[in-house]
Amino acid sequence: MSAKLRVAEIRSRVVARQRLLDRLRHGARGPLTLVSAPAGSGKTVLASSWVSAGLAPGRVTWITLDSGDDRPGIFWTYVLEGLARSGVQVGAVDRPARAKAVDRSLLIRLSACLSEQPEPSVLVLDNVEKLGHGRVVSDIEFLIQHSCPQLRVVAISRMDPPLPLHRYRLSGWATEIRLDELAFTVPETQALLAEHGAQLAQDSLALLAERTEGWAAGLRLAAISLQDRSPQDGERIVHRFGGGRRDVAEYFLAEVLDFQPPGIREFMLSTCVVDTLRPELADELSGRADSARVLRALASANAFVEQTDDGGFRYHPLFRDLLRAQLDYCESSENLTRLHRKAARWLVAKGQVVVAAGHSAMAGDWKCAATLVVEELAIGGLLAGTDSPPFAQVFQAMPGDVGGPHVAILRAALAMAAKDDEACAYQLSRARESVDNGAPEAGTRAVRLSIAALETLLAGARADVDRVVAAAATVEELAADGEVTPANLRAVVAASKGGALLWAGELEDAEDTLVAAAQSAEAGGLDRLRAHALGQLALLNAVRGRLRRATKFARLASRLVGEDRPPAVDAAFAWIYADEYDVPRARQHMRANADHDDPVAAAALAVVRGRLLRRCVGLTTAPLPPWLTSETEIQTLAARVNLWLRKASQELDRGRNDLARHALEQALQLAAPENLRRPIVEAPPRLRRFLRHEQELVKRHLWLGSAIAGTPTIQPASAPATLIEPLTDREHEVLCNMAALLSNDEIAQKMFVSVNTVKTHIRGILRKLSANRRNEAIRRACELGLLRVRGNGTFAGSSKVIGV
């Protein structure tokens, strides 16, 4: 008896989970706290931790129930003995005389005795499912009703006991802690692994949490297998972790599957082939007519079956892995194929064609599976990266001899998703050949639309703007026939076309197309693709000088995808901040997305880098090209502002101050709506001095801020890189002369050394700065803070010594 009345001893390492301890502490203020979840969910560990921490509101009586404890006389004997051992005064209540029944008078006396106690009595019942549906549960209900508020019952069970929980919920008497709350969070998972001396990278940690869905036993088994393993081994173990592992499978077999009657085991094995289970589909797969009742009973019994919000059911992923492993082991391949074909037929009839395609593939019906994917235009999801199931995994085992237009289109789409242009082009040629040869299955709208969409993306990947526009026009023509075209397919085609037009400099058409791409992506719930389109819109508007509109698009894209921004977003921010002359923030975004393959973003960043470098090294602006003499040909705001500033400078040189003031006013009025400071900062010094003395003009344009204060000093990056070998003093002096654009002969004369000595110093500078040319060395020196710009635009060596 002592073992049954002892608080469960936890031998394994325990992670403090304060949120759950708080939930138990709150629940124990009321009559009933139910902790109900499948085996291995951490129910007993939680309750034991709570009691051991002294968080219970009164004296605790713990009873661990076993088979046979459902007899009233035996159960209430344990309760009375446990209460007495915990110090509760129940001496006036006699022990039951019979094992199979107790008189109601015993319960009345016990409830009266508990009600008179000076402090609450906490009764923890572990393994309540052992009580079944017999008399004991109704006796517990009687005691709860008549001992309130001094009796607090904590019931721990793998299934809901037959108590009137609906009434308790309405009256606020019940607190329920279920699997969703008991599931470990990612930080708790990390803490559990740390307790076992195991560590994982964040992506592997997230994957483990996803696969186990926070199931405590699964995580503990994983933690044991990860002990003393290297990060590389840990990543491999997590990627292979599933219900088919021996330790996980043994747990499920011993704790769940072996307890099920043969008919229920057969039902589970025949229905595990699908991820989401509808009762009607379960009838089809199992051959039963009562699947709805069976599924509800399994969900109520916490047998790793849960009901989804839309009325379906699902097995826990690890349990489903076990069932599928058992199915592969126990059933013939013919029977397994039969189950997948049954599922595919049912899903097609219900309009779930994409999911049906996965089951056709599992059945080996590859041509049928490919036809379903293409005719449903599901390649849009594949190209947008939202295909479910992931077709790259589903079709990786498809034999090479399977042919036909639908198969070729699917293979082309898979190649495009994998950025394999050559394979995509080859498969597209095979698909077009089937169309040209008049193959009956190749004449459908879906085939023609899919080919045109893939040709658009392929041409975009190869920067063939004319072919992009032509193929996209075919898509638009086919999509305008009144039939439904998925939003994801429209979005990827529009995004590809918009990017190509932007690359070609056709900004008006590019903006219209990218707006359509963003709208289609939003309709399809494609946040990543929408962020890509918004990023390009931001960059396009930044280039045109519409800085506020560009900022709006860039910020919206950032909100959609967080730190994982497309390159165009950072390029747009860099352009915006450079034009606003916020140099540190411009540099920040130039560094944020350095490794990418977006040619438009790369070109924009090169322009921004050149502008910042020009200010850094004090280069003068080259003469304006002839096309700037006609404002009607100027497309960007910055160019129009620069034209008026050039006119103002010319009039100032001619002594016509009134005309200079007018031209300057025109420039400022154009720049003001976008806070476009860069052209003013980069204007000739004489024009900036003239502006500083035009007080009325300055008052009307307070947005200029420090842009009119004089030639700014470009500060080095806040966290400069280090040189392995610092420059010598003589190399510093040569570097400053290089920045002043002196030739080798001029540097030699100025420093009173030979030309060969100057060349030696220059080679040392280039080597230490990892540069190949003089201009590159000057830029690198500015970034490292080795050069600073004086107010007159000349250079001085920085006093900062950078090295390690």
C-alpha span between 341 and 363 (Å, rounded): 6
Do 49 and 112 have their domain in common?
yes
Do 684 and 789 have their domain in common?
no
Q: Which residue, of 182, 214, 249, is where some domain finishes? A: 182
pLDDT of residue 96: 84
Do 127 and 57 have their domain in common?
yes
Q: Give pLDDT tens digits for 584-616.
A: 888 888 888 666 777 788 888 888 887 776 655
Task: Tell me if 51 is assigned to some domain.
Answer: yes
Task: Tell me if 767 is assigned to some domain.
Answer: yes
Task: Specify the CATH number for the domain of residue 745.
Answer: 1.10.10.10
Do 113 and 159 have their domain in common?
yes
Q: Given pLDDT bands bounded at 50, 70 and 90, which one contains residue 389?
A: low
| Core vs surface per residue 96-105: b (16+ CB within 10 A) or e | beeeeebeee
Q: Is the model's pLDDT at 525 over the cut of 80?
A: yes
Closest CA to 55 of 12, 11, 5, 17: 17
Q: Is the model's pLDDT at 630 over the cut of 50?
A: no
Task: Tell me if 552 is assigned to some domain.
Answer: no
Do 169 and 34 have their domain in common?
yes
778: helix, strand or coil: helix
Q: Give pLDDT tens digits for 749-801.
A: 888 888 888 988 998 898 888 887 887 788 788 777 787 654 444 455 543 33
* H/E run at residue 59: strand 59-64
- Whether the pTM exceeds 0.75: the reply is no
Would you tell me the crossing angle of helices 262-271 and 279-286 to the nearest 10 degrees?
Answer: 110
Residue 2 has φ and ψ, to the nearest 5°, of: -60, -40
C-alpha span between 175 and 211 (Å, rounded): 28
C-alpha span between 383 and 392 (Å, rounded): 11
Q: Which residue, of 708, 743, 765, is where some domain finishes? A: 708
Q: Is the model's pLDDT at 91 over the cut of 60?
A: yes
Q: Is the model's pLDDT at 388 over the cut of 70?
A: no
Average pLDDT rounded to a whole number, residues 300-306: 91
Q: Which residue, of 182, 198, 216, is where some domain finishes? A: 182
Q: Is the model's pLDDT at 268 over the cut of 60?
A: yes
Would you tell me the crossing angle of helices 186-195 and 216-226 to the nearest 10 degrees?
Answer: 40
Q: Give pLDDT tens digits for 101-115.
A: 888 899 999 999 999
Task: Tell me if 67 is assigned to some domain.
Answer: yes
Residues 728-735: contacts with CB within 8 Å, 24+ apart? 728/764, 730/761, 731/761, 731/764, 731/765, 731/768, 732/786, 732/797, 733/797, 734/758, 734/761, 734/762, 734/765, 735/765, 735/777, 735/778, 735/781, 735/786, 735/787, 735/797
Neighbours of 705 (CB within 10 A): 12
Task: Tell me if 786 is assigned to some domain.
Answer: yes
Do 53 and 171 have their domain in common?
yes
Average pLDDT rounded to a whole number, residues 358-371: 92
Average pLDDT rounded to a whole number, residues 276-288: 95
Do 116 and 45 have their domain in common?
yes
C-alpha span between 356 and 278 (Å, rounded): 14
Count of the separate structural domains present in the chain: 4
Among the ranges given (29-33, 300-304, 623-627), the one the predictor scored with the smallest mean pLDDT: 623-627
Plot region of 277 (φ>0 → left; ψ -120 to 50 → alpha; else → beta): beta
pLDDT of residue 512: 94
602: helix, strand or coil: helix
Do 142 and 44 have their domain in common?
yes
pLDDT of residue 803: 32
Q: Given pLDDT bands bounded at 50, 70 and 90, which one contains residue 631?
A: very low
Q: Give pLDDT tens digits for 716-731.
A: 444 444 566 788 888 8
pLDDT of residue 709: 55
Do 98 and 123 have their domain in common?
yes
Do 30 and 175 have their domain in common?
yes
| Length of the chain measured in residues | 804
Average pLDDT rounded to a whole number, residues 505-517: 91
pLDDT of residue 583: 81
pLDDT of residue 689: 83
For 100, the domain range is: 18-182
Q: Is the model's pLDDT at 485 over the cut of 70?
A: yes
Does 460 or 785 have the greater pLDDT score?
A: 460
pLDDT of residue 785: 75
Task: Tell me if 736 is assigned to some domain.
Answer: yes
pLDDT of residue 613: 67
Do 199 and 140 have their domain in common?
no
Q: In Å, what is the CA distance from 11 to each residue of 48, 228, 788?
A: 11, 20, 65
Q: Is the model's pLDDT at 639 over the cut of 80?
A: no
Average pLDDT rounded to a whole number, residues 306-323: 92
Do 27 and 101 have their domain in common?
yes
What's CA 716's distance to the chain center, in Å? 34
Task: Tell me if 650 is assigned to some domain.
Answer: yes
Task: Tell me if 254 is assigned to some domain.
Answer: no
